[in-house]
Structure 1
Amino acid sequence: MRPIPAFALTFSLAAFPAVAQDARQIERMMEGRQGLMTLMAHELGKLGGMAKEEMPYDEAVAGKAAANLAALASVISPELFPQGSGEGEAEGSEALPAIWEQPDDFVTKINGMQEAAATMQAAAGTDLAALQAAMRDVGAGCGSCHETYRQKD
């Protein structure tokens, strides 16, 4: 067996903390985006329940849930999806490679969701019909991204 040159060993060991740091950063970003999506789903559950008339429409609850949704949606950005955080690269990730292959379209879809959430915020606390109309647009915004960029369950 040939001995490993000292400089190669030194370089390898010096690079290890950077690789480990990158892996921790990717894991934190992935956990952050998954937590964000969970919080959005919680607010969408309230809004969807009212829109489907599975629970009584409550102007105050709808307004607050829509405001929360808009605030949460405003945080979504490509930075939450760093290289190496995709499905098959990071445990528990459902992010598909198309995110990094089609970054402009990904950003367009994020912007569309953010606009739909802002519209929902303005409409949700007015009446049930406005909530239902806005909910369709929010659902389309979520779906447009998930159809292309999220691994299906």
Structure 2
Amino acid sequence: MLMHLLRRCRSTAAVCAAALLAACTAPSPAPRVETKPKEPPACVPAAANEKVAGNWLSVRTQKGVTGELRTLITLNPDGTMAYTELLKRGKHPSQGLYEAGCWKREQQTLTLQTLTSNGSPVEFDDPIYTNRYTIVSSTDKTLDLRSSEGVLLKGRRMSPGYRLPF
């Protein structure tokens, strides 16, 4: 009787051990779904004789920021743009941001759509990479923009090819 009971326990133990081991197997990977990366939007050329096309330099200070902010916005007639911002702090090395992408003007709104930031592609669907400015005033020599945060950029036209000195 004792032998019969031991065989029965051994069989039950073997079944339990097999069940435990089966439960410990790694799950099979989910089927891989190929997703095609989204294509960045194509830049649309500006209207002929668009007055805001050009290089615009703004130099300003901002509350809470130590140093001088220099912003160069390049709006090309083909609809591409470059946005460069440098923070100059005395003898300290400049800190900078370089973004490139597309721009468009709709009445008094200038929209900058970033496609690369400091040379790396961005998630262009993220709203942080779309910046809208209200055109406060525009002449042949000046372009004043107000950001959605209320910051006023008073830009003056620079020569073609102008770059910010680092």
Q: Name the TM-score, length of structure 1 as normaliser.
A: 0.26
Structure with the bigger RCO (C-alpha within 8 Å, sep 6+) is 1
* Structure richer in helix, relative to its length: 1
